[in-house]
Structure 1
Amino acid sequence: MANIAQAELYLVNLEPEVKRTDAIQSFVCQETPILVLTDEEGNIGVGYTYTIGTGGSSIVALLNDHLLPMLIGQDADCIEHIWKRLYFHTHATAVGAITSLALSAIDIALWDMRCKKANLPLWKLAGGAKSEIPLYTTEGGWLHLSPEQLVDDALNVQAQGFGGSKIKVGSANIADDERRLSAVREAVGDNYHIMIDANQSFTHDEAIRRARVFADRGITWLEEPLPADDISGHAMLCRQGSLPIAVGESLYSARSFREYLQMHACNIVQVDVARVGGITPWLKVAHLAETYNVSVSPHFLMELHVSLCCAIPNSRWLEYIPQLGPLTEETFHIINGKAQAPELNGIGIEWDWKAIRAKNRGRTVIKR
């Protein structure tokens, strides 16, 4: 048994590589807490989490003031025990976004340490279902982009072998959304997947109206048409049946996914490993979805999700949005539009510590 002896926490801010807008917000800054755990034998595990502009300092405060002091001295191999212990310690704020995002940094670091001690990459230790996963891109589909810009990006990634593109919808007029989708469909042909994302911006009647129009464009899924807590509304849209419904990026617990699946309120699960609380609950959600014959196409965090997608049998797509490039030595490899499972032991990310220390906004160390 090797107990955790030290926790070292960094906070790095990253500007998006391109302008990112959707129907309700702009992605102005990625606050990225990075956690390094060391056990008594010198084994190291690295985890991280993120925000899209606000809350990073709150995550750091929760980790420093409450979670990391409880973590020191715990057996690093007992990941389930640690997750439950920290979760119940924060019962007054769980389930909540800040708490789940803080828990995920710890859980991911523990899994990274476990994999390195086992001399295995995460995708093998967590299941080893496949060695590659098809990619679709969101990076060229933001709401502010013109139809011509959407077409140029879709044709570019299609030529690289990508299987699809996600287009943001929720323009003031349905005709504007239709014009953008029609331009891309005409350019890429019928065999290329187009996903659309409303970012929770529709009312029930507007979701029904737009889904019927969008369905004529051969859309693969409609993502987050309604507020994430409107389970019955999503169930209604699934029964209505114009388009497959995808949800998950705004759900912060495994139980929330259970309720969606039980109510047949989604067709695709988009569980986010940081927002759901880490790898431990992510795997539970993915396996639960499999029992409902529902596929998993996770939200964001492609550098980590590539390993998780390759660990499970029911993953369908990996979302391409570059995130950690300025902080890593290299990202995963892509062959013919498919992300290859990393062979690096651990979670599959090779960090650039010189860059992290240069961009760090505040380092804290907690020791036994």
Structure 2
Amino acid sequence: MNIASIDFLALHAPLADGKAYGMSKSLATGRATTLVRIALEDGTSGFGEAWGPPAFNMGYLAFLRGYLLGVNVLDVEHVFDQIFARHYHFGFQGPMMACISGIDMAAKDAAGKMLGVPVCRLVGGRNLDAVPIYASGGYLTATPREDYRGQIERMAGAGFAHVKIKIGLGPESDEERLATAREILGDDVEILVDINTNYTFDLARESMERMRPYRPGWVEEPLSPRDYDGLARLHACASAPIATGEALYGVHDFKPIVEAGSADVLQPDLSLCGGFWQGRKIAELAHAAHLRVSPHVWGGAVGLAAALHYISALSVYPHAMNVPKPVLLEYDLGENPLRSELLKDPLVPVDGVIAVPEGPGLGIEIDMDAVERHAAKQ
């Protein structure tokens, strides 16, 4: 069960001219990710996904191989601890943690295949067979007024019970976008809103007050996730739950958020925060503080599969048979071949849920022809 090889595969899927979409701070002209592949000495392979520009991640590959080759695949978390203990000057934040996130995913995938069990059973036990999603769309574009209404109408036509829209251009715009979404989607759909850290405290407070009549399910990243005091002040006067964490690395980044009382929903991204290794610690931190968890997913198909297993294994405590608000999986509606084409059997929602794969490991099969098509030119 020792690791024989580790490879990083850079993937890129450019968008057509004029099709850029994104958030309040920037628009994406393409989607990119780093696919991580581990092979064990017996030939068993595992796949993971590392967040961020592949060129950044590639620089860490030789360094991390030096620590992990020859290690028992079940022991990798101790090696990660050794790396950060010895190289504490690097810090937890940055591409090295993203690379370790992908390696950890791949290690869990390979271990599950080796043992014949799904990853959810390796990281806490299979508690759910299917996970409800929220549809992440309502994106900002180069012409946000012209493009927005059609996006929401398509969401309404698909019948999603939970959706998320992008805001953050200003409090007046936020109110207008949420009011439009509420008008089209109706009163029964939960609408989450995402500012992507584009505001100062006063703007975030004004935005939340303006949106109050339209009942946002949560307000995501109203301020920088490391503005612990600002988030705590905002939380004290908030009219809706606050969600944050997609840009935080490891449990040590989440701890001050919890201690300051800055958020209601923690949003670790498994491809960035430290994979299942740190994701489980973050979930335990939330568990101890009676906070909700909803993992951020805005990458490729492997990260989506990992998030399914992660949610399946989460404790429902303090709930029991009645779970008033189930943990939601983010399902990105944007054009993204790295989500829709990388698997031989893509993960897609049916009746508002995605089934947790039952096969060993992550339970997915990579389409290597698709990987080849989207391989980034070096």
Provide the C-alpha distance between the structure 2 equivalents of 1:222 and 1:207, rounded to a whole number of angstroms: 9
1:56-80, Cα deviation, whole Å (9 max, x unpaired): 212111112x111221111211132
Provide the C-alpha distance between the structure 2 equivalents of 1:144 and 1:220, rounded to a whole number of angstroms: 26
Provide the C-alpha distance between the structure 1 equivalents of 2:377 and 2:88, rounded to a whole number of angstroms: 27
Greater Cα offset, 119-128 or 188-197 = 119-128
The normalised TM-score by structure 2 is 0.88
1:134-153, Cα deviation, whole Å (9 max, x unpaired): 21112333355656754443
Which residue is 2:250 aligned to?
253
Displacement after TM superposition at 1:335 (Å): 2.4
Which residue is 1:366 aligned to?
none
Provide the C-alpha distance between the structure 2 equivalents of 1:20 and 1:100, rounded to a whole number of angstroms: 27
Displacement after TM superposition at 1:131 (Å): 1.4
Q: Does 1:200 align with 2:215?
A: no
Provide the C-alpha distance between the structure 1 equivalents of 2:363 and 2:139, rounded to a whole number of angstroms: 27
Q: Does the 8 A contact of 2:221 with 2:243 survive in 1?
A: yes
Which residue is 2:300 aligned to?
none
Which residue is 1:36 aligned to?
37
The normalised TM-score by structure 1 is 0.90
Q: Does the 8 A contact of 2:172 with 2:207 survive in 1?
A: no
Q: How does 1:297-316 map to 2 (within 5 A)?
A: 297-300=294-297, 301-314=303-316, 316=327
Displacement after TM superposition at 1:275 (Å): 1.2
1:163-204, Cα deviation, whole Å (9 max, x unpaired): 222111111x43222222111101212111111111111111
1:203-230, Cα deviation, whole Å (9 max, x unpaired): 1111111111112211001111111210
Q: 1:97 to 1:286 in 2, by over 3 A?
A: same
Q: How does 1:98-137 map to 2 (within 5 A)?
A: 98-126=95-123, 127-137=125-135
Displacement after TM superposition at 1:50 (Å): 2.5
DSSP 3-state at the match of 1:214? helix
Question: Structure 2 unaligned runs (5+)?
Answer: 298-302, 317-325
Provide the C-alpha distance between the structure 2 equivalents of 1:287 and 1:45, rounded to a whole number of angstroms: 26
Provide the C-alpha distance between the structure 2 equivalents of 1:148 and 1:313, rounded to a whole number of angstroms: 43
* Pick aligned residue for 2:329 from 307, 311, 318: 318
DSSP 3-state at the match of 2:89? coil
Q: Does 1:237 align with 2:238?
A: no
Q: 1:361 to 1:58 in 2, by over 3 A?
A: same
DSSP 3-state at the match of 1:13? strand
Q: Does the 8 A contact of 2:24 with 2:140 survive in 1?
A: no
Q: 1:112 to 1:145 in 2, by over 3 A?
A: farther
Q: How does 1:204-353 map to 2 (within 5 A)?
A: 204-300=201-297, 301-314=303-316, 316-321=327-332, 323-353=338-368
* Pick aligned residue for 2:81 from 76, 79, 84: 84
Provide the C-alpha distance between the structure 1 equivalents of 2:342 and 2:94, rounded to a whole number of angstroms: 24
Computed over aligned residues only, the root mean square deviation of the Cα atoms, in angstroms, reads: 2.2
Q: 1:91 to 1:223 in 2, by over 3 A?
A: same
Displacement after TM superposition at 1:362 (Å): 6.8
Q: Does the 8 A contact of 2:27 with 2:140 survive in 1?
A: no
DSSP 3-state at the match of 1:205? helix
Provide the C-alpha distance between the structure 2 equivalents of 1:145 and 1:183, rounded to a whole number of angstroms: 16
Q: 1:179 to 1:13 in 2, by over 3 A?
A: same
Question: Structure 1 unaligned runs (5+)?
Answer: 364-368
DSSP 3-state at the match of 2:35? strand
Displacement after TM superposition at 1:333 (Å): 4.2
Which residue is 1:141 aligned to?
139
Which residue is 2:12 aligned to?
13
